[in-house]
Amino acid sequence: MNNKIILHNCGREDVLSFSSAMFKVGQLLEELEKFFHQYKLGKQISDSCNANNLNIPVRREAMSRSSSIIEHYEEWFDNGIACETLKIGAEGWQRGKIKINLQISLEFYPDLPEINNELDELQDVKSESPLDDIRQKIKQAN
């Protein structure tokens, strides 16, 4: 599967065909982006972290909204969550924010041609070589 094509780099007008459906790459990417940008995703990440003792304070002090689902999403994906990092070799803690950046891409892996068909094609090419005429003339001259 080394010959992959990342569909995110394809044109949005390129077409995908499945057994019973055909549509543009852009349509599928739009649907996937809708799924990954639902507000619930931020809350699910916070809940999962808390359940695994990764207690990350998501809410900002000055936040006055009542919808915690939106707050979690905005903090994880839009505003970022205040934190500090300590890197090996650094002189101390560095303050900043951590934010999740989702990039959605589709990867297409073309089927590999069957080896037998490829060998047959190579043999056909060999037999049609422009050198065949020269070889034939040399054989006739001897």
**Do 58 and 98 form a contact (C-beta atoms < 8 A)?**
no
pTM above 0.85, yes or no: no
Q: Tell me how far apart the alpha carbons of residues 71 and 53 are, in angstroms, rounded to a whole number.
A: 20
Lowest-confidence range among 39-48, 99-108, 122-131?
122-131
pLDDT of residue 76: 86
Average pLDDT, rounded, for the chain = 76
What is the 3-state secondary structure of 65-98?
CCCHHHHHHHHHHHHCEEEEECCCCCCCCEEEEE
Query: Is the CB of residue 8 less than 8 Å from the CB of residue 105?
Result: yes
Q: What is the pLDDT of residue 115?
A: 67
What distance in Å separates the CA atoms of residue 53 and residue 73, rounded to the nearest whole number?
Answer: 20
Euclidean distance between CA atoms 109 and 113, whole angstroms: 12
Residue 134 has a pLDDT of 75
Average pLDDT over residues 77-86: 85
When pLDDT is averaged across residues 66-84 and rounded to a whole number, the result is 80
Average pLDDT of the segment spanning 95-122? 75
